[in-house]
A = this chain, B = another copy of it.
Amino acid sequence: MAGRKQIFVGRFISAPGPNDLLIQEGAVLVSSTDGHGIIEKTSWTAQNSKDALTEFGLSEKDVEVVEAHQNGFFFPGFIDTHIHAPQYPNVGIFGKSTLLDWLTTYTFPLEASIGDTGPAAETTSTTTTTTTNGAPSSPTNPQQPASKKRKLTPLPRAYKVYTKVVDRTLRNGTTTASYFATLSVPATNLLASIAHTRGQRAYIGRVCMDHPETCPDFYRDETPDQTIQHAIESIEYIQRLDPRGELLAPIVTPRFAPSCQAETLTRLGELALTRSLRVQTHISENKGEVELVSQLFPDRKNYTDVYDHAGLLTHRTILAHAIHLSNDEITTIAQRKSKISHCPASNSALGSGFCPVRKLLDAGLDVSLGTDVSGGYSVSILDSVRQTCLVSRQLGYVNGGEKRWNIGVTEGLWLATVGGARCVGMEDRLGGFEVGMLWDVQEVVLDEVDGDEDGDGKGQVDIFGWENWEERVDKWVWNGDDRNVRRVWVGGRLVHERG
């Protein structure tokens, strides 16, 4: 792909600011080297591909021209800053539980099973292909028919689940995802291989948990030494897959404070510092959890201080949930420039509370969106935008009808793109259509009622023809789904095309 050039022509919509929905028509020139397609030039005067070629000084034979559908637009890919890949099979299965009993009843058993080797609930296979890391020895194409695809991996369940979750997130427009995996190093490495092969931008975290009082015996590291050793094994595997670390990178992942011994937290902080790694974990999701942390770490001022003391609060750290933080904690997080992943679907589904997003933003924190599969029931960041808006209205209601809590569609989309880019430290590279940014983009198509008489297969968004483009974006956010995502690119590479 060295030297490849593409011109994208049509309507470009993005949310560069919380109240700024930018709707442009024109063309963008993307140049790719080694699979990293970057916006080299833009033209907001070009009316068609011919204009674009002229403006960019190129001829047809030099470039691939990609035109957006006339009823569609290019939009920055979504960034999911908090998703548990192994929990995907449990989406929608949580009964009436809240966080701590949900972990025990639904989550830990499933996560533990992901590392299962040997016969599983898989179909038969004739080919054996293994590597020492448990990853497939060659890239596999998940789009192949079933009969050609089945290889006997030593991790059949991980292969099936991780292939599906990467596919589902891509087809919902998620170009970057920060994944929690499981304790299993081979299965975590397999997730990294699958995401890398499919071309999704991904941060992969081998989950660390070793506190004997809070973790089940069947699903924890035995000692801090073992935790660190396994973390390093996975980090080094991932870094070998993508030495540059732009498309694929490891992320240090203590599950959350209650699941780790104090020594482990400190050593993971050192690991992140010495190797300049991202960190992800949970914070202050549930009142019971906050109370548990205060019991487990009596010497620390609060939940935030547990991470701060361990050196885990850095500008590369993503903290999921952040619902019940005190003002002191918010100040500390702002000082450390750590990032927040807001997961509204999960918070509502588990009855965890209402994350005060406006308050966090006002305090200067960077906030992004996470699906939190499977505390959250949906892999779709578009659904997270929707839930963010709904929860903000409810928070306004709870606060006596104050409108300041309101997060509208544009601000929600801004959190899902620019907010995500800031939270993964890629604000100069992701989230918009500026020169120098990576072409991580989804093409969204909204069909007009007049051209969609049968209604099948084209999604649930109905455009009657009199709506302006701002209203069409509203309609997309509230009723859109994967059917409206026609194509998805990561770094200029086409990684999904709707069949």
Contact = CB atoms under 8 A, between A and B. Distances in A.
Interface of A: 88-89, 91-93, 95-96, 98, 121, 123, 142-146, 149, 160-161, 164, 167-168, 171, 287, 348-354, 377-380, 386, 389-391, 393-394, 396-398, 401, 403, 406, 408, 449-451, 453-457, 460, 462, 464-467, 471, 474-479, 481-482, 498-499
A476 to B, nearest CB: 8
Given A462-B164, A479-B378, A454 B393 contact: no
Contacts of A450: 123, 146
Contacts of A394: 348, 351, 354, 394
A471 B106 CA distance: 12
Given A350-B393, A353-B397, 14 more contacts: A89-B462, A91-B475, A92-B474, A95-B474, A96-B406, A121-B464, A121-B466, A160-B464, A161-B464, A349-B393, A351-B393, A351-B397, A351-B406, A454-B499
Given A91-B479, A351-B394, A394-B348, A462 B145 contact: no
Instruction: Give the 5 A-B CB pairs with smallest separation, nearest first.
Output: A92-B478, A351-B393, A456-B499, A377-B478, A348-B390
Contacts of A397: 351-354
A402 to B, nearest CB: 10
A398 B396 CA distance: 13
Contacts of A149: 453
Contact of A121 (B390, B401, B408, B465): B465
Contacts of A167: 455
A95 B168 contact: no
A461 to B, nearest CB: 8
A168 B455 contact: yes
Listed residue (A93, A142, A465) with the most chain B CB atoms within 10 angstroms of its CB: A93
Contacts of A466: 89, 121
A377 B464 CA distance: 16
Contacts of A287: 401
A454 B143 contact: yes
Nearest to A120: B466
22 contacts: A89-B462, A89-B466, A91-B475, A91-B478, A93-B471, A93-B475, A95-B474, A96-B406, A96-B408, A144-B453, A146-B451, A149-B453, A164-B449, A349-B390, A351-B394, A351-B401, A352-B397, A353-B397, A354-B394, A378-B460, A394-B394, A460-B481
Contacts of A171: 455
A451 B164 CA distance: 12
B479 A96 contact: no
Contacts of A477: 92
Nearest to A499: B456
Contacts of A89: 462, 464, 466-467
A398 B348 CA distance: 11
Contact of A348 (B168, B378, B393): B393
Nearest to A143: B454
A145 B465 CA distance: 19
A224 to B, nearest CB: 34
